[in-house]
Structure 1
Amino acid sequence: MTFTLPPGLDRRLTPARADLAAAHLRGQVDSARFVEGRPMRTGFPVVPLAPSRLMNAARDTEFLLGEEVTIFDEDGGFVFVQSDRDGYVGYAVAGAFRPRAKPATHRVAVMRTHLYPGPSIKLPPTFVLHRNSLLTIERFTDAFAVTDTGAHVIAAHLKPVAEVEPDFVAVAEDYLGSPYLWAGRTSFGLDCSGLVQTAFEACGIAVPRDTDMQEKAIGEPVAFDGDVTVLRRGDLIFWKGHVGIVSGPDELLHANGHHMMVVKEPLSGAIARIREKSYGEVTSVRRPAA
């Protein structure tokens, strides 16, 4: 059944289909029924989100452990779900979520760490957890923090959720050498906008997922006529379909498909290459608030 959203609504951010839609969209979309969503939490370390149930097709983004979501439908082993963090809507594996029993208390503050079944680093780890994953910690014992599920994680690798990083550029630099992965958000693989979103998230700043959304939402515009000397560390430079971070004088930090990893390279050279080979001209520069 063909379903078209009304003008002004983005399918990436609108939990609506021909057969059902979120209750708050009543009167805005033409769906057969409207439902209240179920508040849930991601229970796996990484959960891919796709625009359809065809999970071997291109994906949009990833959920990390502990992220809060709202589930609107479950069918055929998949859920129709929306991220509470950035509003992204899509399909994910149904068994990857659990009820929100208690709020998260801590976040993973290192690139990655192991989750153990008990208080010993000699035990085979259960999962690898990634930066910005959220955990509910119930107690601490020696070097470990114990979660509400009884799992153990190195306490020094965690910070309280309210304790954030001061510099998003420094966080992004931690990912240098990480492989490029479309829709990724971890050091195992991430894309250009995923790198930006992940770095800001570690600093307690919520930003949208995709480049076009980020270009509209982050900071203030900076006049740019090609003179890279006017740019500052932390400026975001956008192309149609790509974003990078100015990390120093004439220096661009970005996850990109040319190198297939996160790199630093001369900004002026990158602008010329991107103009000729991929995304065309720079569309804007945005300067985040201090």
Structure 2
Amino acid sequence: MTDALDHRLNAFRPDLADARLKGRVEADRFVEGMPARVSAPVTPLKRFPRPDAMAETEALFGEDILVFETTPEGWAWVQLEDDSYVGWMSSDALGERDAAPTHRIIAPRTLVFPGPDIKLPPLFALPMGARVTVAAEAVDHNARYGLIRPAGAIVTQHLGAPNEAADDFVSVAERFLGAPYLWGGKTFMGIDCSGLVQVACRMAGITAPRDTDMQERSLGTRLAGVEGLERGDLVFWKGHVGIMVDGANLLHANAHHMMTAIEPLAETLARTEEKGLPVTSVRRMAR
């Protein structure tokens, strides 16, 4: 009964499932997801509730989630509301949904100061795409700040409206050049290939799923091959994706460079073909 449902995007296990899936899956118990919001700057989402389990994606500060279970060991089984991804995260990263976010971070990374003064030691940093609630503004001789809930100050040039859309998702992706490669990562501190595509698309107002196979099925329209490529075309391999910055060069977070890099597509093709990994498709995003 569960074969048709992707476990990454639907919360179901033999012992517990999302009440919305009743009649579609078998489970010992069905529960309503409890609304919550991510309160940590960034937190990994894992397939298994273990510290050593591989992270499959990340949840960002201010992101709305549904919680289906919490354990005495400090884990929460959740679903991200943005892209529907399901997994385990630390219960310490759970917060309440209070005032709705008013802004999101538009810089690759910003510092949160304890007050409106850039000389104060920062409390923590927030990644691009994190959402914050600005309760007031302040200014000093250095900058203008948004004062966020529950506490902290962020320079206003790093804040954008929640639905503010960049003109070009490739330009957003280019801001991650040099970011270290991290499986499951979605921030400038560590990002993977599909995370780069998802974050860049989202900041440009384009809904994008999390993983390469999902992106290959749903983003853009299929092209015949790798000839005549343009800026913004997506090139897919099994388990990998890159973004064309022009007709010849590819931008991708990759394990060869162990960072987000731009290189000639011809070099990428030679390397992947040597490994027996041909291009599986090329997709053109809408202009």
TM-score norm. by structure 1 comes to: 0.95
State which of 266, 269, 281 in structure 2 corresponds to 1:268. Answer: 266
Q: Provide the rounded CA distance (Å) in 1 between the counterparts of 2:151 and 2:244.
A: 42
Is the CA contact (8 Å cut-off) linking 2:191 and 2:253 kept in structure 1? yes
Secondary structure of the residue aligned to 2:13 is coil
Q: Provide the rounded CA distance (Å) in 2 between the counterparts of 1:193 and 1:162.
A: 21
Q: C-alpha offsets along residues 128-166 of structure 1, whole Å, 9 cap, x if unaligned?
A: 111111001111111110112132111121011122211
Secondary structure of the residue aligned to 2:184 is coil
Secondary structure of the residue aligned to 2:55 is coil
Secondary structure of the residue aligned to 1:258 is coil
Q: Provide the rounded CA distance (Å) in 2 between the counterparts of 1:55 and 1:84.
A: 23
- Do structure 1's residue 73 and structure 2's residue 69 form an aligned pair? yes
Secondary structure of the residue aligned to 2:199 is helix
Give 1:1-290 correspondences, 5 Å limit.
6-75=2-71, 76-142=73-139, 143-224=144-225, 226-227=226-227, 230-277=228-275, 280-290=277-287
Once the two structures are TM-superposed, the CA of residue 55 in structure 1 deviates from its matched residue by: 2.4
Give the letter aligned to residue 69 of structure 2: D
Is the CA contact (8 Å cut-off) linking 2:104 and 2:131 kept in structure 1? yes
Secondary structure of the residue aligned to 1:18 is coil
Give the letter aligned to residue 242 of structure 2: G
The list of structure 1 runs, each at least 4 consecutive aligned residues, that deviate by more than 2 angstroms after superposition, is none
Q: C-alpha offsets along residues 93-141 of structure 1, whole Å, 9 cap, x if unaligned?
A: 0010111111111011111111111122222111111111100111111
> What is the Cα-based RMSD across aligned positions, in Å?
1.1
Give the letter aligned to residue 265 of structure 1: E
Q: Provide the rounded CA distance (Å) in 2 between the counterparts of 1:55 and 1:90.
A: 13
Give structure 1 stretches of 5+ with no counterpart: none
Q: Provide the rounded CA distance (Å) in 2 between the counterparts of 1:42 and 1:204.
A: 21
Is the CA contact (8 Å cut-off) linking 2:164 and 2:203 kept in structure 1? no
Give the letter aligned to residue 252 of structure 2: H
Secondary structure of the residue aligned to 2:172 is helix
Once the two structures are TM-superposed, the CA of residue 234 in structure 1 deviates from its matched residue by: 0.3
Once the two structures are TM-superposed, the CA of residue 277 in structure 1 deviates from its matched residue by: 2.2
Q: Provide the rounded CA distance (Å) in 1 between the counterparts of 2:12 and 2:23.
A: 12
Q: Provide the rounded CA distance (Å) in 2 between the counterparts of 1:150 and 1:252.
A: 40
Give the letter aligned to residue 209 of structure 2: P
Farther-moved stretch of structure 1 (84-93 vs 94-103): 94-103
Q: C-alpha offsets along residues 197-249 of structure 1, whole Å, 9 cap, x if unaligned?
A: 1111111222100000000010111111x43xx11110000001000001112
Give the letter aligned to residue 195 of structure 2: G
Farther-moved stretch of structure 1 (267-276 vs 40-49): 267-276
TM-score norm. by structure 2 comes to: 0.96
Once the two structures are TM-superposed, the CA of residue 288 in structure 1 deviates from its matched residue by: 1.2
